[in-house]
Amino acid sequence: MSDLKDAVARKGSFLQTARAVGWSFFGVRRSSGLAEDVQKLNPLHVVVAGLAGAALFVVALVLLVRWVIGSGVAGA
């Protein structure tokens, strides 16, 4: 139980977490950066940033598809 308390008490900022999750979505991470993230980042922040990133990705895809369909490029 103390491991969980230690993980939640980490001092990584949400911006650092969002940056790490963004690079992970992009697929580019160095192993040294990953080791730093494991030591610094709050797991709760990682989950929230991951869900927010996934939601933004889905919204971006939906908007892209609507734009392509609406511009008439797909039917030409």
The better pLDDT of the pair 5, 51 is held by 51
Per residue in 12-65, pLDDT tens? 788 888 888 888 888 877 777 777 877 888 889 889 999 999 999 999 999 999
Per residue in 54-71, pLDDT tens? 999 999 999 999 999 988
| Distances in whole angstroms, Cα of residue 10 to Cα of each of 44, 49, 53, 67 | 10, 16, 21, 42
47/13 Cα distance (integer angstroms): 14
CA 32 vs. chain centroid, Å, equals 18
DSSP 13: -
Determine the pLDDT at residue 73: 62
